[in-house]
Amino acid sequence: MALAFTSSPAIHASLSSSSSSCEQPKVSQLGTFQPLDRPQLLSTALNSRRRSAVKPLNAEPKRNDSIVPSAATIVAPEVTEKVEAEDFENLAKELQNASPLEIMDKALEIFGDDIAIAFSGAEDVALIEYAHLTGRPFRVFSLDTGRLNPETYQLFDAVEKHYGIRIEYMFPDAVEVQALVRTKGLFSFYEDGHQECCRVRKVRPLRRALKGLRAWITGQRKDQSPGTRSEIPVVQVDPSFEGLDGGAGSLVKWNPVANMDGKDIWNFLRTMNVPVNALHSQGYVSIGCEPCTRPVLPGQHEREGRWWWEDAKAKECGLHKGNIKDESVNGAAQTNGTATVTDIFDTKDIVTLSKPGVENLLKLEDRREPWLVVLYAPWCQFCQAMEGSYVDLAEKLAGSGVKVGKFRADGEQKAFAQQELQLGSFPTILFFPKHSSKPIKYPSEKRDVDSLLAFVNALR
């Protein structure tokens, strides 16, 4: 994700007169959109918070870095009363059934020039389109990690030209990047996880940017990552970062498309004919840095194209780390700390194996029949995504002489699975041959029935 701030030309003129390439519809042209009335519960807190005039960014036709204010250097105004978290909890309830356009309009109305859209160069271009349709001035920022795909940079340029805006890019600290690469190499994240690299290249630049704002707008959706994003509200006090006034509760986070499905986002993008990342047509869905992003395959969840060598629970780069909850109590994944996650792969054709059962499989050198076993965690969205194909496979193999099993390998069993069963990430699929004690790990990310069946047939 590249972090950048931009101002829309609507600050000085109407949207129609500011664009030289095409005429974009305004809110008044949409007919069905009516901005919500400002809730009374916010009137006192928000009205006391900011009533200064929106500061124009004076964007010119040609880029001039001197006129693009850095989020890290914006002069903070006099500190005013912070908005209570309860105000935004109530607002989130009021806006729960509102359209993304209504939510975007409310965000821009409340925060004006103190809010910006976080643009990653993927399908979150929808956020910019919604902001444009409100007819209000808006800003955009993006994090340039230095390792984005060429197609992402091309999209940045196309978006700037399409909307007549200037994206303010935030970059990682050169000294920090140099120290990381010289010490650990260019691809250390494949060996010890992506968090350190993301912290240097993304999280710290984001923190600098947000210190110049009172609110930001993200493209998070509930269906993107069931393990970490399934409960995000449309607006919240940011649980992880600080804003302009500093301290907890000083930054508000808006998620206008939280309740939309991916397919609805794409229907909107096609209808509005906006620029999109060329990688989407090559099988990429969730797009980040080039070394850590790849196309998804049949039967895979969209986030499985990111950091595929790690567990599903780790698939947040740190920009939205507040989504991640404590994952277990006595090895059982929890939701809100209480309810146990429902088990998966629950069918008569799949045998549930205990740790002693797996240990017996490992000891046997001459089994009566071969086994196919999935190492899984029920909270893992990638395990959930392949449940249908694995159940279908078990039905096809019923009576064939191949036993199909499952072993829950999270919690207390994870260390054992990593040491003895080649567990790298969930799900891991193993085939135990009839005349060999050593299991064979399924090497592919294709988890459709035909691919799994071809693997079994090649080995049995």
Look up 198 and say whether it is catalytic: no
CA distance 394 to 349: 6
The sheet carrying 332-335 orders its strands as: 328-329, 332-335, 339-340
pLDDT at 17 over 90: no
The pTM of this model reads 0.56
* Percentage of the residues of the chain whose pLDDT score is greater than 70: 70
- Asked if the model's pLDDT at residue 257 lies above 50, the reply is yes
Based on DSSP, count helices (H) and strands (E) in the chain, helices before strands: 16, 14
pLDDT reading at 429 higher than 90: yes
Cβ-in-10-Å burial (0-12, 13-18, 19+) of 28 comes to exposed
Residue 242 or residue 321, greater confidence = 242
Query: Rounded to whole angstroms, how far apart are CA atoms 227 and 242?
Result: 25
Q: How far apart are CA 125 and CA 129, in angstroms?
A: 7
Please report which helix (H) or strand (E) contains residue 339, including its range.
strand 339-340
**Separation between Cα atoms, residue 300 and residue 306, nearest integer Å:** 11
Residue 229, pLDDT score: 54
Catalytic annotation on 197? no
- In Å, what is the CA distance from 321 to each residue of 177, 198, 204, 317? 21, 12, 13, 7
d(CA 125, CA 141): 12
Residue 348 contacts by C-beta under 8 Å, 6 or more apart in sequence?
Answer: none
Which pLDDT value is given to residue 327? 40
Reply yes or no on whether the pLDDT at 24 is more than 60: no
Q: Are 162 and 269 in contact (CB under 8 A)?
A: no
**3-state DSSP call for residue 47?**
helix
What is the Cα 58 distance to its own chain's centre? 32
**Chain-wide mean pLDDT for the chain?**
77
> What are 434's two structure tokens?
């009839």
Residue in the block written with tokens 């193993």: 430
Does residue 14 come out as left (phi exceeding 0), alpha (psi in the -120 to 50 range) or beta? beta
pLDDT on residue 51: 38
pLDDT digits (tens, 9 = 90+) for 343-400: 899 889 999 999 999 999 998 877 889 999 999 999 887 888 788 889 989 999 999 9
Predicted pLDDT at 319 = 53
Tell me the pLDDT tens digit for each residue of 439-455.
999 988 788 888 899 99
Tokens linked to 246: 């500093």
Among the ranges given (5-14, 214-223, 261-270, 402-411), the one the predictor scored with the smallest mean pLDDT: 5-14
Q: Are 154 and 162 spatial neighbours (Cβ–Cβ below 8 Å)?
A: no
Q: Is the pLDDT of residue 340 over 90?
A: no
Catalytic residue, from 197, 289, 317, 383: name it.
383
Q: Of residues 423 and 326, which shows the higher confidence score?
A: 423
How many C-beta atoms lie closer than 10 Å to residue 179's C-beta?
12
Give CA–CA dist 453/312, Å, rounded: 24
From 143-147, 447-451, 454-458, the region with the lowest mean pLDDT: 447-451
Is residue 21 a contact partner of residue 163, using CB atoms and an 8 Å limit?
A: no
Query: In the prediction, which pLDDT does 13 show?
Result: 38
Say which DSSP state 417 is in. Answer: H
pLDDT value of position 173: 93
Which DSSP string do the residues of 233-260 spell out, in sequence order?
A: -SEEE-SS---TT-STT--EEE-TTTT-
CA terminus-to-terminus distance, the chain:
45
* Mean pLDDT to the nearest integer, 318-345: 49
What tens digit of pLDDT does each residue of 73-131 get? 333 333 344 456 668 999 999 999 999 999 999 999 999 999 999 998 777 899 999 99
User: What is the structure's pLDDT at 293?
Assistant: 82
**What's the rounded mean pLDDT across residues 415-429?**
93
| Range of lowest pLDDT (134-143, 315-324, 412-421) | 315-324
- In one-letter notation, the amino acid at residue 66 is S
Rounded distance between C-alpha atoms, residue 411 and residue 213, angstroms: 39
- Tokens read off for 221: 């959706």
**Does the pLDDT value for residue 58 go beyond 50?**
no
Under 8 Å CB-to-CB from 254, ≥6 apart: which residues?
Answer: 103, 104, 107, 115, 215, 216, 217, 218, 234, 235
Burial class of 460 by CB neighbour count within 10 A (0 to 12, 13 to 18, 19+): middle
pLDDT band at 230 (very low <50, low <70, confident <90, very high): low
Residue-wise pLDDT for 171-191, tens only, equals: 999 999 999 899 888 888 777
Q: Judge whether 143 and 204 are in contact, CB under 8 Å.
A: no
